Every structure is written in C-alpha cells, then in structure tokens.
Structure 1
Amino acid sequence: MKKLIGRREKITLPEWNLKNVTGKIDTGAYTSSIHCEYVEEKEEGGKKVLFFKVLEPSDKKYNGKILRSENYSQKKVKNSFGHAEIRYKVTTKVIMFGVEFDAEFTLTDRSKMRNPILLGRKILIGRFIVDVQEVNLSKKSLK
C-alpha cells in the first residue's frame, strides 16, 4: 500500500549517519540528488573509489565525514536550469516512514538552492503518493 507524503519529508540515510534530514519531493525530477561540496575519484588497491562529502557545515545534520563508495557511476542529468551535466551517482539506504530501501542520489552543488536534498520519481514510484498541501507527514504519522 502506498503511503501519503507531503512536499517535504524527513528521511534518514543510515549508511551516511544522517538522521531526519529534510528532502523536498520533486515529481519533475526522475533521479534524486543531494548537495555535495567535495567529490574526488581515486584509485585504491587497483580499484576506483569515490570520496565525497554531502550537505554542508551550516546544516545542523552535517556530520563532516568524507564518505566513500566503490558502487557508483556517472549519469548525464539536466539541471534545474535545463543544462545537461555529468554527475556522479551513488546508491545508499534510505529510511522513510520506517521503511528501508535502496536509493540512488546524484551528487551536485545545491548550495544556491533552498533544499539540499531532492527526492525524485524513482524513489516515489510504487511507494508514495504526494499531497502538495502537506509537509512532514512521516512525523505526523508517529503521533
């Protein structure tokens, strides 16, 4: 059964040690994205590894850690201004409404945007229905 969500919801990214961060629902975007201020591809023991930092120090949920992933790729994405750009895409666990699932995020500079995390249709399909008049329904469902 699909859960009703609002235009912004709290999510947890347990592998990245980020709890109850706000994600803006964006039904116009296919892939989800997260603010990233540092990303670097390095070779470690003959394997390519992606190192990155998500969110930023001014965000109270920021944990300051450099994260790493061997499970990543690159994806061509149209940004909010309609320009195509190549972004790194990583997969991690997401918890919404107490349900854990894998989700893909592209890493991009969202410092000029109001919301550091966008949740696109790929996360929503088959799981959620959006009510744009509401926010944080996951929090309200716990009461």
Structure 2
Amino acid sequence: MKTFDHLSVIGLREWVALPELGVAGLRAKIDTGASTSSLHATEIEPFERNGEGWVRFNAHLGSVVQLRHRRCEAPLVAMKTIKSSNGHAQVRYTICTPLALGGRVWHVEFTLACRKAMRYRLLLGSKALVAGQWVVDPGATYVQNKPEFPVTIPSTTGVA
C-alpha cells in the first residue's frame, strides 16, 4: 500500500473561510469530479479599478433556511466556460482568493455561479485539492477543524 506523508485528509464536507472576502464558517462540498471550484454569487457586476478588471458580487453564505450574504469585490482573473455534468455550458466570471481549510491557507480560483438550488454554497474542485495537498476520505465529513478567523494569509501561495 502506498502512503503520502505530505498529504492531509479531508472529508466530503468541510468548514472553510475566505479571509480576503471576510467570509468565515462556510460549509464546502468537496467534489473530486469537478475540476474548478465554485462559489454561490448573485448580482455580479464587472467594473474597472486602476485599469484592471474587477468584479463585485453578493456571496451567499447561509443555508436555504438561514439566508445571509456579503457584498464582495475581487480582481477578475478570467471568464471561463464551464460545462456541467449534464453537458450544459455556461460562461462564468472567475476570481482568485485565499481559502482556509483546517490549518492551511492557499489561493484558489473560483467561478461565480448561482448555486441557490444546491445545498452547499461553495464547491471545492480537484485543482484546489491538488494545490492544497489534500486527499479525500469519502466516508468522512468535517474531518478538519473550522478555520480560525481572522486568518493569516501567507504571502507566497500557489493558485488552484
């Protein structure tokens, strides 16, 4: 049997924080079948700041029962075409922001999408898992502790 000492274990669902967006206590669904990570966002407005592309949006953080949101701004990384599991293609705004999970913090690219029909407001895809050096135990949930807030963001991190 192979073991990987540099990797840590997470479950199918974990608590995360997005410190640069001021978001803590967000439940994430871990999805190894998705390449890209996704954040539930509405009222998405692109704009320019100092000649650079930015995007302003409402990040939805609560559950269907307990709704809450936060108005956020982030640099625009790209516009990506994402194909869903049923073959439907959609062009989405993409941002990159630090994500805290357990004791780790690293930069992750998120597409902004309406996930109101989904149980989890944040989906963590395989690119983020590889960059964060995580392996998934599909029989476990909430293996890691909730990230402490505020989170210290490392100055040099990889992008997933």
Judge same fold: TM > 0.5, yes or no: yes
Of the structure 1 ranges 78-87 and 49-58, higher mean CA displacement relative to structure 2 is found in 49-58
Q: Which amino acid aligns with 2:137?
A: D
1:5 to 1:38, Cα distance in 2 relative to 1, 3 A = same
Whether 1:70 aligns to 2:51 is no
The residue aligned with 2:7 is: 2
Alpha-carbon separation, structure 2, partners of 1:132 and 1:58: 22
Shift of the alpha carbon at 1:61?
A: 8.1
Shift of the alpha carbon at 1:56?
A: 5.3
Alpha-carbon separation, structure 1, partners of 2:67 and 2:23: 6
Of the structure 1 ranges 52-61 and 28-37, higher mean CA displacement relative to structure 2 is found in 52-61
Query: What 5-or-longer segments of structure 2 have no aligned partner?
Result: 1-5, 147-160
In the superposition, the TM-score normalised over structure 1's length comes to: 0.87
Q: Which amino acid aligns with 2:114?
A: D
Match of 2:138, SS? coil
1:4 to 1:47, Cα distance in 2 relative to 1, 3 A = closer
Q: Which amino acid aligns with 2:135?
A: I
Match of 1:110, SS? coil
Alpha-carbon separation, structure 2, partners of 1:65 and 1:30: 26
Q: Which amino acid aligns with 1:107?
A: L
The residue aligned with 2:137 is: 131
The residue aligned with 2:16 is: 11
Identity of counterpart residues, as a percentage?
Answer: 34
Of the structure 1 ranges 89-98 and 34-43, higher mean CA displacement relative to structure 2 is found in 34-43
Shift of the alpha carbon at 1:115?
A: 1.2
| Contact 1:91 1:103 (8 Å CA) reproduced | yes
1:3 to 1:68, Cα distance in 2 relative to 1, 3 A = same
Query: What 5-or-longer segments of structure 1 have no aligned partner?
Result: none
| Contact 2:28 2:122 (8 Å CA) reproduced | yes
1:38 to 1:56, Cα distance in 2 relative to 1, 3 A = farther
In the superposition, the TM-score normalised over structure 2's length comes to: 0.78
Alpha-carbon separation, structure 2, partners of 1:128 and 1:45: 36
Alpha-carbon separation, structure 2, partners of 1:92 and 1:6: 22
Shift of the alpha carbon at 1:49?
A: 2.4
C-alpha RMSD of the superposition: 2.1
| Contact 1:31 1:106 (8 Å CA) reproduced | yes
